[in-house]
Amino acid sequence: MKLKHLKNIFHDDLDAIYGEDEVDSFFYMLIHDYFDVTKIQLAMDPTIAIDDPEKILESLSFLRDHVPIQYIIGETEFYGLPFKVNNHVLIPRPETEELVERVIKQTANNATIKILDIGTGSGCIAISLAKNLPNAKVYALDVSKKALEVAKQNAKLNAVDVEFVEADILKTKSIRDLKFDIIVSNPPYVREKEKVFMKPNVLENEPHLALFVKDNNPLLFYEAITSFAILNLTENGVLYFEINEYLGNDMIELLHDNNFKNIELKQDIFKKDRMIKGIKS
């Protein structure tokens, strides 16, 4: 079957769901991953054909059912690095890249420090920090054993040393009595009532454990992590969060009430309150 014909099938089936440009993107990602054929190669030779289209047609079916393309091919890119992903971990977002960028820019490249990433998921934050802050000792915590399996693969893939810890931050008070210079977290922060604004590919595929909190207690994880940070940050240690865009003022109040200083709320590229930083007094 000619790839050009397959491309037409993709557009016939998926344009109404995703739009022409995104379907193009999906198709070229898949043919590169499955057949090692690039967009330019197909443009130069429209006669390229494959013997067995079963796998890519199966992917077409997954896309029709709103399965994210990253889960279909099993990988994505974050902060310029490759990451394996599956339905046990969230697909890393550009907003989280901004959080990583902020931590890196505000940390001396040669600093010999300890960093803890809470709720690591795929390991994208911890691994990106370890890659870009080579003198830092990075730890990463998650409650999900399956997520940690993915994160460990990603640390190996990116040739970094991260120490992974399986623990529930809602119950954990310390990690082997270690003190950290930086604690960073992108915890669950989407309220149940905000599900109506989310796309089916997220709702039906990504792990709800890593996404949602109850409407009546949206700061559950932030409160627990802040309490943990009070006990486990070094003097003048820094706490970084990615946050729900609607809860910026609540987060300022939370950090202020817990005696954090130099509190900074920052918007993401979409002009939404997305990151907050505080220094332990």
What band does 224 get if pLDDT is binned at 50, 70 and 90?
very high
Give the pLDDT mean for 244-273. Answer: 97
Give the pLDDT mean for 159-187. Answer: 96
Cβ-Cβ contacts under 8 Å for 188 (sequence gap 6 or more): 119, 209, 210, 211, 212, 213, 221
What band does 168 get if pLDDT is binned at 50, 70 and 90?
very high
Handedness of CA 120, 126, 128, 129 (dihedral sign): positive
Q: Are 280 and 236 in contact (CB under 8 A)?
A: yes
pLDDT for residue 201: 86
List for the chain the helix, strand, coil content (%; round to 5): 45, 20, 35
Place domain 88-280 in its CATH homologous superfamily.
Answer: Vaccinia Virus protein VP39 (3.40.50.150)
Spell out the domain ranges in the chain. 3-65, 88-280
Q: What is the pTM of this model?
A: 0.92
pLDDT for residue 12: 97
Look at residue 21 and tell me whether its pLDDT is greater than 90.
Answer: yes
pLDDT tens-place string over residues 175-216: 989 999 999 999 999 999 999 888 888 888 889 989 999 999
With 0-12 / 13-18 / 19 or more C-beta atoms within 10 angstroms meaning exposed / middle / buried, residue 43 is exposed
Cβ-Cβ contacts under 8 Å for 95 (sequence gap 6 or more): 242, 268, 269, 270, 274
